[in-house]
Structure 1
Amino acid sequence: MEKLEIVFTEFTVDRITATMPVAGNTQVYGILHGGASAALAETLGSMAAALHGAGKTQPVGVDLNITHHKAGRSGLVTAVCTPVHLGRRSTSHEIVISNEDGARIATARITNMMLPVEN
């Protein structure tokens, strides 16, 4: 999170939001790197699953997919993570990443398996 400069702006079981700058997270052509977008999405989805588990379970990512709709060119991108499924053994979340104009630049979905915490 520190390396990508991810900053959380909302943090609840029902909704996690965060921002990330495009600068410093670009690929060779100067646009937002798809891997940085995926890392942002996975960070939010995993944090959301951990919140749902409330310390009784530990999320382990089993699937992440992301569709890039348009290039992130400058400024901050904002990611909004909302639950699709909150179960005892698995969770799924959708993460929408938008630019400063509110245009969707990527959509991701993550599924986490919830493992019991061993003491």
Structure 2
Amino acid sequence: MQALQMNIKHTSKELVKVDMPVTDSVKQPMGFLHGGASVALAETAASIGGMQHIDEKTQAVVGMEINCNHLKAKKDGILTAKASPIHLGKTSMVWNIEIEDEKKQLIAISRCTLGIINL
């Protein structure tokens, strides 16, 4: 999170918001936001959300699968990932993540499956 300058803005069991600036460190060679940075932002928001539903002393959440549709290119600005749960099971969770820019334009959508493991 620190390397990509991500900041947690809101955390609850129903919604997590994480911001990330579009800087040179998250751009691909043509100067646009790298899709991998969007995916990292999405999985971070989902994982923080997943942690709200487990006992962190005895369990952890791990990414099992993630997909991401990149809908709009960005060269600058601030992105906000908004993660909300779709499914909360005993051994897995599925989270929906929408990534918007500072103008509330939808930049990417993602779905992330988290596994719940015992420590």
Q: What is the TM-score of this pair, normalised by structure 2? A: 0.93
Counterpart for residue 96 of structure 1: 98
Task: Report the residue type matching 2:87 in the other structure.
Answer: H
Task: Report the residue type matching 2:109 in the other structure.
Answer: T
Counterpart for residue 60 of structure 2: 58
Identity of aligned residues (%): 35
Q: Distance in 2 between matches of 1:107 and 1:35?
A: 13
Counterpart for residue 79 of structure 2: 77
Q: C-alpha root-mean-square deviation of aligned residues, in Å?
A: 1.0
Counterpart for residue 27 of structure 2: 26
Write the deviation string for residues 13-70 of structure 1: whole angstroms up to 9, x where unpaired: 1110011011131111111110000000111111111221132421121101000001
Q: What is the TM-score of this pair, normalised by structure 1? A: 0.93
Task: Report the residue type matching 1:9 in the other structure.
Answer: K
Q: Secondary structure at the match of 1:5?
A: coil
Counterpart for residue 109 of structure 1: 111
Name structure 1 gaps, 5 residues minimum.
none
| Moved >6 Å (runs of 4+) | none
Q: Distance in 1 between matches of 2:111 and 2:13?
A: 16
Name structure 2 gaps, 5 residues minimum.
none
Q: Secondary structure at the match of 1:46?
A: helix
Q: Distance in 1 between matches of 2:59 and 2:74?
A: 35
Write the deviation string for residues 53-112 of structure 1: whole angstroms up to 9, x where unpaired: 132421121101000001122110111000001111110101100111111010011001
